[in-house]
């Protein structure tokens, strides 16, 4: 039964929360956690899903709802004019974040578009439950340094990084021998390159474990998502790329593990449910009853582990190379991938064409991108990479 709204000063949950990207996959699961625990909501944001935004306003009564598509903001404002929620457009997003009374914000905006809101959260000194990996791919070193300077706390919400965060429990990077980053393997585990040449959009959107948005589901199918998670782990936990081992674990029960220098390995296990990760980001360092079903190891029966096939899925290897190169090379990787996946989802590019376009774009810009050490230069390189990737997509070779 849903609890009444509470004063959380004496409990694990923050007094109020905000959610960036409330109508997306992670955002709606964050809303589940908020509703189940009767939390107060200062603000929510979305892009253009007006129907779901209206439903959330009527269920949660946020003080503010920001719609970043201005036409949708006008539509939503008319629909909820009988409520006390103030509906604002994209221009208000930065001010809403910085002036919010909520000490904790779940950030689940997808893609490069999530970087500016993340920086606003950091400047406001918030606790940030971060599900936007692209910001860390583009400028993770700069982001983490600024968070340290402002006192903002970034707690990962991605299941693998939440698992690593829980396994580390405040340990120093010098105590870590390796991070075992698990992967489901995606829907095409065991496929050859020849078999992948026949993959359709519908095939790629059928993930075996997680229910996610279209873009991240395709990224999981190409293993690009796991590549981004490698880069994210380097940024979040202060380890070297060589310390990260990707392990394919089809059952998705072990969400990741940490091997310490004394050879002890600590793993985090649980049913695959993002709501656990969202809730832990809000209650850390405490735990509370949650919505996730309990794990029965006897029901699981057995677990399997495999090495990833980086020849068949070259984007994972490219991610390791990109983080070693540094600078804006990871940003180029991310930008090219966003453009390529969008083309694939429009059925203008083949599945194998995704990795080809991304690889060609990185190869074209890598030497120049390595020298980009400021946020401004990386964002400029991001835009160049999008242009280059689009030109490769237009080529009949792809």
Structure tokens at 345: 């989802």
pLDDT at 198: 96
What is the arithmetic mean of pLDDT over 68-79?
A: 98
The pairing of beta strand 104-107 with beta strand 86-88? unpaired
pLDDT at 3 over 70: no
User: Which residues have C-beta within 8 Å of that of residue 179, sequence separation ≥ 6?
Assistant: 164, 233, 237, 239, 243, 244, 245, 256, 257, 258, 259
pLDDT at 1: 31
The closest alpha carbon to 337, from 368, 321, 360, 364, belongs to 360
For residue range 184-216, what is the model confidence (pLDDT) as tens digits? 999 999 999 999 999 999 999 986 666 678 998
pLDDT at 7: 45
pLDDT at 213: 80
Contact status, residue 309 vs residue 252, Cβ threshold 8 Å: no
Please, which pLDDT band fits residue 6 given cuts at 50, 70 and 90? very low
The closest alpha carbon to 282, from 91, 107, 92, belongs to 107
pLDDT at 210: 60
CATH number (1.10.1740.10, 2.60.120.560, 1.10.1240.10, 3.40.50.1000) of 326-398 reads: 1.10.1740.10
Mean pLDDT of the chain: 95
pLDDT at 362: 99
* Ranges of each domain in the chain: 8-156, 171-271+292-324, 326-398
With pLDDT > 90 as the criterion, what percentage of the chain qualifies? 91
pLDDT at 5: 47
Contact status, residue 257 vs residue 155, Cβ threshold 8 Å: no
What is the arithmetic mean of pLDDT over 59-69?
A: 99
Q: What is the DSSP string of 229-286?
A: HHHHHHHHH---GGGEEEEE-TT--EEEEEEETTS-EEEEE--S-HHHHHHHHHHTT-
With pLDDT > 70 as the criterion, what percentage of the chain qualifies? 95
For residue range 275-312, what is the model confidence (pLDDT) as tens digits? 999 999 999 999 999 999 999 999 999 999 999 999 99
Q: Which residue bears the tokens 């909501």?
A: 41
What is the arithmetic mean of pLDDT over 44-71?
A: 98
pLDDT at 2 over 80: no
Structure tokens at 295: 């794990």
Structure tokens at 157: 């919400």
Q: Coil, strand or helix: which one is 183?
A: strand
For residue range 106-121, what is the model confidence (pLDDT) as tens digits? 999 998 999 999 999 9
Structure tokens at 5: 């709204």
CB atoms within 10 A of CB 300: 12
What is the arithmetic mean of pLDDT over 32-49?
A: 97
User: Which residues have C-beta within 8 Å of that of residue 129, sequence separation ≥ 6?
Assistant: 30, 104, 105, 106, 107, 155, 156, 157, 278, 281, 282
pLDDT at 394 over 80: yes
Is the domain covering 8-156 a CATH 3.80.30.20 domain? no
Structure tokens at 78: 């008319």
pLDDT at 11: 62
What is the sign, positive or negative, of the torsion defined by CA atoms of 195, 196, 198, 199? positive
User: Which residues have C-beta within 8 Å of that of residue 170, sequence separation ≥ 6?
Assistant: none
Looking at the chain, which runs of residues are DSSP E strands? 16-20, 40-46, 64-67, 86-88, 104-107, 127-130, 153-156, 176-183, 244-248, 254-260, 265-269
């Amino acid at each position: 039964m849903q609890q009444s709204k509470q004063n959380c000063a004496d409990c694990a949950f923050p007094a109020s929360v905000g959610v960036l990207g409330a109508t997306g996959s992670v955002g709606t699961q964050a809303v589940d956690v908020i509703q189940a625990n009767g939390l107060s909501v200062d603000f929510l944001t979305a892009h253009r899903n007006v129907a779901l935004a209206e439903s959330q306003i009527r269920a949660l009564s946020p003080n503010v709802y920001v719609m970043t598509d201005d036409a949708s903001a006008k539509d939503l404002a008319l629909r909820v004019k009988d409520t006390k929620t103030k509906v604002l457009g994209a221009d208000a997003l930065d001010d809403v974040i910085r002036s919010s009374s909520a000490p904790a914000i779940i950030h689940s905006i997808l893609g490069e578009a999530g970087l500016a809101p993340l920086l606003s959260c950091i400047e406001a000194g918030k606790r940030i439950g971060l599900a936007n990996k692209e910001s860390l791919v583009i400028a993770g070193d700069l982001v983490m340094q600024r968070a340290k300077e402002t006192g903002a706390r970034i707690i990962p919400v991605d299941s693998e990084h939440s698992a690593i965060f829980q396994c580390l429990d405040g340990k120093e990077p010098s105590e870590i021998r390796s991070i075992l980053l698990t992967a489901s393997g995606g829907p095409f585990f065991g496929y050859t390159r020849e078999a992948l040449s026949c993959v359709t959009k519908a095939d790629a959107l059928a993930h075996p474990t997680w229910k996610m948005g279209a873009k991240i589901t395709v990224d999981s199918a190409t293993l690009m998502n796991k590549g981004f998670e490698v880069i994210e782990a380097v940024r979040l936990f202060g380890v070297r790329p060589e310390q990260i081992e990707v392990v394919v674990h089809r059952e998705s029960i072990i969400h990741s593990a940490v091997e310490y220098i004394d050879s002890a390995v600590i793993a985090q296990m649980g049913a695959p449910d993002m709501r656990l990760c969202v809730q832990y980001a809000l209650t850390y360092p405490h735990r509370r009853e949650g919505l996730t079903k309990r794990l029965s190891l006897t029901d699981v029966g057995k677990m399997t582990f495999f090495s990833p096939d980086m020849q068949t899925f070259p984007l994972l290897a490219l991610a390791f190379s990109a983080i070693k190169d540094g600078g804006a090379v990871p940003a180029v990787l991310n930008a090219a991938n966003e453009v390529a996946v969008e083309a694939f989802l429009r059925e203008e590019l083949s599945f194998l064409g995704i990795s080809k376009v991304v690889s060609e774009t990185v190869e074209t810009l890598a030497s120049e991108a390595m020298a980009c050490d400021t946020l401004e230069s990386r964002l400029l390189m991001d835009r160049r990479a999008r242009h280059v990737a689009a030109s490769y997509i237009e080529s009949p070779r792809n």
